[in-house]
Copies of this chain bind each other. A is one copy, B any other.
């Protein structure tokens, strides 16, 4: 596959206006330079990758550096931008909204900025929710609050209707803040726009508290997530030592990727077991989790377990607990399953245990962004604005190898980032917890 083609960002057309930003094109003048289209960052930064690329003679895979371009596509004074936030809450959404508005208004002079209410629903036909006008005064304090002032929702709406709404409201740029599904929706909107030959840019700011966006160093809100989780886990440890054979189970977010659970354990080293979706996991028998837990209790008489919500989903397959009295499939909550199984296991052996099950998910996702996420959200939003004003479309702003870049939406949604079970990060988790290297 041609790597150049792969990571290049679609564009609405050649730039037409000089940027209003008073920047430089010279190094050494203590003034930020416009970013050139040719500035690229390598995807593979290992020496072996370098050697392979050198030998193959081809251009290595690389990413477009983000930032302000010297000429831009949209005429700022005549441009209307819209912002939509979709999916579950995540710390930092309001920071992103705030910084998009500030950057559009102050850097480029875009005066009409529209807040779409309650996710893509707010773009659908016959939507009952009016737009919210966004101004610097309206958004100046919102970074202090979690959630999203625009509201959010899940679920798809007809792409055609949504593009109609953009057209009817003379929207030139649509900023979508959302996860995998939202970004796929944004891509579809971009395709429809292209089909109709419209000059509307669609920019994505990837939002996933699970940190599972492919290729990208980290997504905003993720660090806040384990920052908020850490004292909760510290205190879950207090619960565990507060009873003889006390066990605390803390369920954290992570449907497909266990980054929050694993990071919390590394940040708050009182955790004895981390269970993530990426790991093989069996409960019973030799080498299983329950055996390992029993060993731990015999040595220390208390244990803290952190489990990602998506861990051990195969355990539900043949489990009678997952149906209620009426035969309906109940919500598959791995935390509750663990609690039941542990209770059962130690009940059979006559060992009394005291189990506390803690699910702080809503508490975490609705918290305001911490300082580093706030900083990160701001810079990310700035990049998205620069890209959209330059006429790029169907792209996301992201950070790779600590550098801000633009990536095609298609590249970040074609798979999820997962913890590498053979990587340094997971090995650090194993070392910190002291749990068996394998329990499945």
A residues adjacent to B (C-beta < 8 A): 22-24, 27-33, 38-42, 45-48, 50, 53-54, 59-60, 62, 67, 89, 98-99, 102-103, 106-107, 117-118, 121, 129, 141, 143-149, 151-153, 217, 223, 226-227, 229-232, 234-239, 241-244, 246, 248, 263-264, 266-269, 279-280, 324-325, 356, 358-360, 362-363, 366-368, 370-372, 374-375, 378-379, 382, 401-404, 421-428, 430-432, 434, 437-438
> Known contacts being A42-B47, A47-B60, is A244 close to B118, with CB within 8 Å?
yes
B40 & A227 in contact (Cβ 8 Å cutoff): no
Question: Which chain B residue lies CB-closest to A399?
Answer: B402
A243 & B118 in contact (Cβ 8 Å cutoff): yes
A242 & B148 in contact (Cβ 8 Å cutoff): yes
Contact of A363 among B102, B153, B269, B358 (CB under 8 A): B358
A236 & B371 in contact (Cβ 8 Å cutoff): no
Contacts of A430 in B (CB 8 A): 32
Copies in the complex: 4
Q: For the complex, what is the distance from the CA of A242 to the CA of B246, rounded to whole Å? A: 35
Q: For the complex, what is the distance from the CA of A359 to the CA of B107, rounded to whole Å? A: 32
Q: For the complex, what is the distance from the CA of A20 to the CA of B45, rounded to whole Å? A: 30
Contact of A423 among B29, B32, B53, B129 (CB under 8 A): B32
Give 12 A-B pairs besides A45-B401, A102-B269, A152-B243 with Cβ atoms closer than 8 angstroms. A33-B422, A40-B48, A42-B42, A42-B47, A50-B60, A147-B235, A149-B241, A153-B244, A235-B366, A239-B366, A268-B371, A360-B363
